[in-house]
Amino acid sequence: MSVASVSPAAATQVKTAATVQTRRKSKKNRGGAPLHPEDPQQRIRQHSHGENVYNVFNIIFFALFTFLCFYPFYYLIINSISNNAMSAAGQINWWPSGIHWDNYGKVFQLDGLGESALISLGRTVIGTALTVLASAYLGFMFTQQKMWHRQFWYRFVIITMYFNAGLIPAFICMRNLHLTNTFWVYVLPAVVQPFNIILVKTFIESIPSSLQEAAEVDGAGELTIFGKIILPMCQPILATVAIFSAVGQWNSFQDTLIYITDSRLYSLQYVLYRYLNQASSLANQVKASAGSTLNVASLATQQTPTSIRMTIAVIVVLPILFVYPFFQRYFVKGMFLGAVKG
């Protein structure tokens, strides 16, 4: 039907309906309803007073929480590079003063620091790699129905989270295995971690089983399925496990205290722990090695127990902090998917 063939009565009805619709819209607008309720800006303006108060409180709370988390690191750094006399007197709280880098140069010259740093780096890299691989493989095998006595072995591993033999039996066990005073005492006892296995197992259970079934139909074996299908899909949870393991390996010093007597195998944390306890005598030693003539300018960079403690704390903390940016995008996702079965 063409436009010209529309009757006058029909045209009048169309105009009347359009007029009524326009009046309804204008009434809604005068009542305060938005023209486009789907517009995000309109939704923002619709927030109630209670929601606005909650948002402000939320922002203030998390800003303060972020400050409380960040300030200790900031305090350590500014005190390690500021005037040592002012730092020892507690005058450096917000801004550095008399910036210098002599503290780091003198601390790095301490005996055994380079060798112990290599030990800590080696145990962190090797221990993290073995822990991630073991957690991934055991987590995968504990999801396989065909595994022999799967429930028994899974419970056997998990029960070690709640019960252990104790310090003396553990030391006797390590000595009988000839692991004391060896590098591998740092790595092997920490390879199997029940908590990490639970995270990986739960994550793998959320992966569709049809992927493994299709691979089995094509003739793939267990190792092929694990290496080419499961492992690439577990990157988020494996990154989470890697962070846990790396932080634990880097910060550990009690195993050195218990199992190691050879100074060549001391970890960096243990060496710095000893220096922290000997900060006063170490500061006197550094002063004596600097010579007996001290001018006013050298007092600002003269070592004090406080400057040594602050510098050592920064050296311990900063390296492991650089791990987080590389795994940040996987960390939260891995924790959520690994903690709750999908």
What residue spans define the domains of the chain?
Answer: 49-100, 111-277
CB 142 within 8 A of CB 197: yes
Architecture of domain 111-277: Orthogonal Bundle (1.10)
Query: CA neighbours within 13 Å on the CB side: how many for 310?
Result: 26
**Type of residue found at 133:** L
DSSP tag of 228? I
SS3 call for 173: helix
Query: CA neighbours within 13 Å on the CB side: how many for 176?
Result: 6
What tens-digit pLDDT sequence spans the chain (342 residues)? Answer: 444 444 555 555 545 555 655 555 554 454 454 444 455 555 555 667 778 888 889 999 999 998 998 888 888 888 888 887 777 777 778 888 777 787 787 777 777 778 888 999 999 999 999 999 999 999 999 988 888 888 888 888 888 888 888 889 889 999 999 998 999 999 999 899 899 999 899 888 888 888 888 888 888 888 888 888 888 888 888 888 888 898 889 888 888 989 998 888 998 888 888 877 776 565 555 555 555 444 444 445 566 777 777 887 888 887 777 777 766 666 655 555 544 444
> What is the chain's length?
342
CB 229 within 8 A of CB 213: no
CB neighbours of 320 closer than 8 A, spacing ≥ 6? 246, 247, 250, 251
- What sign for the dihedral angle of Cα 232, 238, 240, 242? negative
Answer yes or no: pTM beyond 0.75. no
Cβ atoms within 10 A of the Cβ of 284, count?
13
